[in-house]
Copies of this chain bind each other. A is one copy, B any other.
């Protein structure tokens, strides 16, 4: 039951493995293998069901046709959707994908990087965490192709594909203002990743441009490490301590989801007691009653552009290209949770 190799094919046809290799790789024309020989080789390959050994090829060429996708948490619907898009594009280009979740934990991230690098992946697609700065610098220094998605590492120039988070937050806030809301609470993560910071900036700018008193801006920051239960409790307290709020802006979808739970538990009605908007779309936001207004990310586009950029990076060879940043636009989807304020 041994797997059949190039040598087996060569032997049986009394040709060299060189010839077989050229045929297998479609180089027979260029290398001047006669059509007749190529034909014979291809026939036997079909007959025997020969498939080239990818490991040997990788060892020889240094190219594995594998990319590593490192996300925060593959079970999070946003990253799961990204993974699906990346997969589709990668397979089109004949790439396989390793995945790994960091859970925002640096030791896990470290182990992932080491393991992937030793496995000769051709490139990385990474949603970095703050502590990853060192690893990212190392990748850069070693000239390993990679791109960042969803967020950046401040002060490190890299290729990336991210959302215009500032604009999304600005527009979402503007929408609340247009609909009569003035006292908007902002709920975000405390770890200060770039995407979160830009959402916060967009939120502030919109308030400022509308000349809404900054005193009314009330922020709640929770940690990624906190459990859902803890976050829900924090939100419940926050709502009780800030009864003047007429709207809430959730900076990411799982905060929004916990937010809905907290609002339910506090027996508040959306949007009459409090309006709600959130970053990142989610089935729940589409189907819950009332449905939730969001800034949605163009996931397909992020996936396509990511693979495109990474492949360009992988295929660039020796030349040092200047890092390319791609910024995609969010879509504001207006639903019922932010209906015009009734006064």
B287 lies within 8 A of A289 (CB): no
Please, which residues of chain B bring their CB within 8 A of the CB of A87? 74, 99-101
Classify the interface of chain A: helix, strand, loop or mixed: helix
If A97-B98, A119-B96 touch, does A55 touch B64 (CB 8 Å cutoff)? yes
**Please, how many angstroms separate the alpha-carbon atoms of A139 and B58 in the complex?**
24
Within residues 93 to 127 of chain A, which ones have a CB less than 8 A from any CB in chain B?
96-101, 108, 111-112, 114-120
Distance from A270 Cβ to chain B, minimum over Cβ atoms (Å): 11
Distance from A83 Cβ to chain B, minimum over Cβ atoms (Å): 5
Q: Is the C-beta of A77 less than 8 angstroms from some C-beta in chain B?
A: yes
If A284-B284, A284-B288 touch, does A73 touch B64 (CB 8 Å cutoff)? no
Please, which residues of chain B bring their CB within 8 A of the CB of A314? none
Q: Is the C-beta of A39 less than 8 angstroms from some C-beta in chain B?
A: no
Which listed residue, B84, B98, B100, touches A74 by the CB 8 Å rule? B84
Q: Is the C-beta of A54 less than 8 angstroms from some C-beta in chain B?
A: yes
Residue of B nearest to A86 (CB): B74
Distance from A181 Cβ to chain B, minimum over Cβ atoms (Å): 23
Q: Is the C-beta of A257 less than 8 angstroms from some C-beta in chain B?
A: yes
B73 lies within 8 A of A84 (CB): yes
Please, which residues of chain B bring their CB within 8 A of the CB of A74? 74, 80, 83-84, 87
Please, which residues of chain B bring their CB within 8 A of the CB of A77? 75, 77, 80
Q: Is the C-beta of A223 less than 8 angstroms from some C-beta in chain B?
A: no
A1 lies within 8 A of B51 (CB): no
Copies of this chain, tallied across the complex: 2
Distance from A287 Cβ to chain B, minimum over Cβ atoms (Å): 6
Which listed residue, B84, B108, B117, B264, touches A289 by the CB 8 Å rule? B264
Which listed residue, B75, B257, B282, B283, touches A84 by the CB 8 Å rule? B75
Please, which residues of chain B bring their CB within 8 A of the CB of A73? 84
Please, which residues of chain B bring their CB within 8 A of the CB of A112? 91
Residue of B nearest to A90 (CB): B100
Residue of B nearest to A81 (CB): B75
**Please, how many angstroms separate the alpha-carbon atoms of A91 and B98 in the complex?**
12
Within residues 202 to 236 of chain A, which ones have a CB less than 8 A from any CB in chain B?
none
B59 lies within 8 A of A55 (CB): yes
**Please, how many angstroms separate the alpha-carbon atoms of A130 and B138 in the complex?**
46
Distance from A265 Cβ to chain B, minimum over Cβ atoms (Å): 11
For A96, A97, A143, the residue with the greatest tally of chain B CB atoms inside 10 Å of its CB is A96
Distance from A37 Cβ to chain B, minimum over Cβ atoms (Å): 24
The list of the 10 closest CB pairs from A to B, nearest first, reads A80-B80, A75-B84, A54-B119, A54-B118, A75-B81, A75-B80, A55-B59, A284-B284, A55-B58, A55-B120
